[in-house]
Structure 1
Amino acid sequence: MADNPVKLTASLSLTSVVLFGLAYMAPSLVLVIFGVIAQGSAGTAPSAFLLATGAMLLSALSYAKMARLFPVSGSAYFYARQMLGGQLGFLVGWLVLLDYLFMPMVAWLVQSVFLHVQFPGIPFWGWMLVNIGLTTLVNVLGLSLADRTNKLLTGLGLALVLLFVVLCLIHLLHQAPVSLTAPLWNASSTFMGVSAAAAVAAYSYLGFDAVTTMAEETRDAKRNIPRAVVLVMATAGLLFALVAYIMQLVHPGGVFEDAQTAAYLMSIEVGGQVFADWLNLGLIISGFASGLIVQLSTSRLLYFMGRADILPKTFFGTLNPKTGAPVFNLLLTAVIGLLGLNLTLEMATSFINFGAFLGFTAVNLCVICYYYRARRRERLGLVSYLLFPLLGMCVNLYLVSQLSATAIVIGLCWLALGVVYLTWLTRGFRQPAPDLRP
């Protein structure tokens, strides 16, 4: 069968890509997890977020370096193939695939849980079908519509978060003076407590790497994708820390009646019940953008793997001639998303963290390998190309060690399945792994 003549078109601007990355990470997430982070850090949530931002920024810098060298849509999958060799590269891609395949399901699951709480008259499974159906429809209709929809919804989410911050500041003006340094460090703070909370907060940063899957659809990708990776991480991290700081001023300390509903109760305190309800609904609506972009990036990674003959090309490596979208891949992710009907949020999340953090580890290792290969012909900084990636590897391996036993078992089983598949592809390792063509 002849190769599909339709190709990805470079149409996205730097702004669009950055907004895609922010939507993936869901800036409003800080409101959802604030109470948990504040409780774990003894009232120093912004410090925990800043520490998590610095730790994950190490991996973001490594992604930026690789994206500048290889501006193609394969992300960690392609970087590892180039730097670590075909077989290890395949296994890295296989691990990352675990993250990408189930991340849309998690996004839809979270969205449906919140919608069901807000509108209990519609069953949870009904909201799952609505979320999966609408997201898939927008993505099938093409990148242009997805871009416009994302800008609108992400803008709405950011506006609501900033409105909440403004109301918090107005509330503080009418309260007794509070300590401006206590949210960063107080008498109850310990480094172990803050670092433990930072480890939990780090899971909120999953997705900064997703923009690299859109390299072939971004104008001047060699320049814009590296910038987008760092901008997404830095913007989200600073936003998380700033919002957490203001919230910690409104509610000093880490004691809550219910840490999971802390932000909702705080929104009632600063804006009243009506504002709290509208804020909750608005953040749910803006969360649709996260599911949209998660599914979009997953479909691009599957397309790249299909185009490279790792997955069946006739299904995974084709684009719709009218919209330029990998329709089969989008439909597959929609079907996988239906698995969320029978899973808890905790179980679904455990599917993705193992692959994500090992993928980050591999990209840091790729930068180190590039340093040793190219240091004699290029002037590469020892700190930037060796020390930072090494620290990034340590951070991610530590985060893997903190996963639940269930998550690790699922991840290892997935890895074992990948080894079996690689054995079949290479005819018992007698042939090289398929070549990944950009």
Structure 2
Amino acid sequence: MSNVQMNSHHVSSASHFKRVLTLKDLVIYGIAFMTPIAPAYIYGFAAQSTGGMLPLAYLIAMVAMMFSAYSYGRMAAAFPISGSTYTYTQRAIHPHLGFFAGWAMFMDYVLVPLIVFMVGGSYANALVPSIPYWIWVLIIAGIITTVNILGIAMAAKTNQLLVLFMGIVVVVFVIFCIKTIVGGDGASALVSITPFFQSEKFVMTAIISGAAMACFSFLGFDSITTLSEEAVNPKDDIWKAAILSCLIGGVIFIVQAYVAQLVWPDVNSFSSADTALFDVAKAAGGAILATLYTVAIIVSSLTAGLTGQASASRLMFSMGRDEVLPKKFFTRLHPKYKTPINNILLMCSMSIVGAIVLPINFVAELMNFGGLTGFMFVNLSVIVYYYFRKKEKKFFRYLLIPGLGFLICFYLFINLSPMTLKVGLIWMVIGLIYALITTKGFKKLPPSIRNL
């Protein structure tokens, strides 16, 4: 019996989800997680750190993520179950290494809804100051958690509407920026090489550091693979959705950064680096466009929160099913909606507490650690599983592409800030201690592996 058949049998013999997601749903899900308006979160600081060449940094980050998206797709075809990075590393390389891959991505997935609660609550409070920040956090958390409990089909329909709205806002923003540029209020010409290359300011280390930062905007395409057990055709659709969402998202980010750079060439003159794109929006379309952009940020907190919470809850479900987390708690599905209700409620509680007590910059710094660590594990999984274990000696598919994906992610990883690396490593040490205890010194294997 093949690995895929055995995995399918394992899934069918356990609690199962409803298969309702099409390719379109999966692509929208990935874009919703990344959010079309993601550059607003990092634009000011990233534009300044790259010397006004953020579009180049985004282009490098997109290429890097495309390699990893390909690897996620190959592993999803081999193991069409919901554990994503955790499952792929576990089955392809080693069961215990799979736990550490899942542990790293777990940090990433936990932080996504937490940071969007923060961002959404902050901008909603700025828009309606009479309602306190913590009340906005509870409102956003309540909406996201309710939709996720009602089921992935409901979440998918909600995401379609919200992504459509954000897409419209991005289009309006780009149109107003183009109008400003052509009208002579911004750069001298609509077509310019300066957002990608300025010889007098070009510093490779700064561009690479900016690309590492830009990876923040791409975190999310990988979450598509956590929905393999809810996809109608996971073997074909998961890999297509991962690559398409990464490509589409990258183009959206590059276009926004490009026109913003031309509208506001002096990246060191923003009123605040935290709200740089709002300065650009106001310059291009006045207070109305700036307000619309603020609303879109709040909406982005809903889409990213929906997808982040859903992905984390399904990752915990898979780890619970394999008994690397307490099985009884983490594998409980809602009797009617077939959603991992305990995991969703746990995620909600953690995100609310974190959003109220933690500083946003601390949370933002940690997200790329988990994401890039997971991407490296998955690229390695493709090489080990296909090229060495299955002996499919297709150099380009199963060695060169994932190898480049690993090397690029590793290079971006070592360019993260020292504080990010320090805290991330502490998180991994905590996981090591937990694994040593639960596996009795790595002597006990997960049931899913023992039964293969």
Give the structure-2-normalised TM-score: 0.90
Deviations 1:97-129 (A, max 9, x none): 222233221221121122222222222211111
> Residue 344 of structure 1: which of 359, 363, 373 is its match?
359
Shift of residue 82 of structure 1?
Answer: 1.1
Deviations 1:296-345 (A, max 9, x none): 11111111111222222221112112111111111000111122211001
Residues 256 and 262, structure 1, Cα contact 8 Å, conserved in 2 = no
> Match for residue 368 of structure 1?
383
Q: Using the alignment, how far apart are the partners of 1:379 and 1:397 within structure 2? A: 24
> Residue 327 of structure 1: which of 341, 345, 348 is its match?
341
Shift of residue 48 of structure 1?
Answer: 1.5
Residues 108 and 131, structure 1, Cα contact 8 Å, conserved in 2 = yes
Q: Which moved more, 1:387-396 or 1:242-251?
A: 387-396
Shift of residue 346 of structure 1?
Answer: 1.4
Q: Residue 39 in 1 paired to residue 41 in 2?
A: no
- Identify unmatched segments of 5+ residues in structure 2: 1-11
Matches within 5 A, 1:153-302: 153-175=162-184, 177-178=188-189, 180-192=192-204, 193-257=206-270, 258-302=272-316
Matches within 5 A, 1:70-149: 70-149=79-158
Shift of residue 384 of structure 1?
Answer: 3.1
Q: Using the alignment, how far apart are the partners of 1:212 and 1:5 within structure 2? A: 19
> Residue 370 of structure 2: which of 355, 360, 363 is its match?
355
Deviations 1:12-43 (A, max 9, x none): 11111111111111110123433333222222
Shift of residue 379 of structure 1?
Answer: 5.0
Q: Using the alignment, how far apart are the partners of 2:221 and 2:66 within structure 1? A: 10
Distance 1:199 1:427, change over 3 A: closer
Deviations 1:153-209 (A, max 9, x none): 111011100111111122223217426222222243414133332222122211110
Q: What is the RMSD computed on CA atoms of the aligned residues?
A: 2.2
Residues 110 and 308, structure 2, Cα contact 8 Å, conserved in 1 = no
Distance 1:345 1:155, change over 3 A: same
Q: Which moved more, 1:393-402 or 1:156-165?
A: 393-402
Q: Using the alignment, how far apart are the partners of 1:196 and 1:102 within structure 2? A: 21
Q: Which moved more, 1:352-361 or 1:185-194?
A: 185-194
Residues 160 and 283, structure 1, Cα contact 8 Å, conserved in 2 = no
Shift of residue 242 of structure 1?
Answer: 1.5
SS at match of 2:295: helix
Q: Using the alignment, how far apart are the partners of 2:196 and 2:433 within structure 1? A: 49
Matched letter for residue 275 of structure 2: T
Matches within 5 A, 1:406-421: 406-421=419-434
Matched letter for residue 48 of structure 2: Q
Residues 169 and 292, structure 2, Cα contact 8 Å, conserved in 1 = no
- Identify unmatched segments of 5+ residues in structure 1: none
Q: Residue 316 in 1 paired to residue 325 in 2?
A: no
SS at match of 1:72: coil
Residues 148 and 344, structure 2, Cα contact 8 Å, conserved in 1 = yes
Matched letter for residue 48 of structure 1: A
Aligned pairs, number = 434
Matched letter for residue 382 of structure 2: V
Q: Using the alignment, how far apart are the partners of 1:77 and 1:268 within structure 2? A: 44
Give the structure-1-normalised TM-score: 0.93
Q: Using the alignment, how far apart are the partners of 2:234 and 2:122 within structure 1? A: 36
Shift of residue 253 of structure 1?
Answer: 4.5
Matched letter for residue 411 of structure 1: G
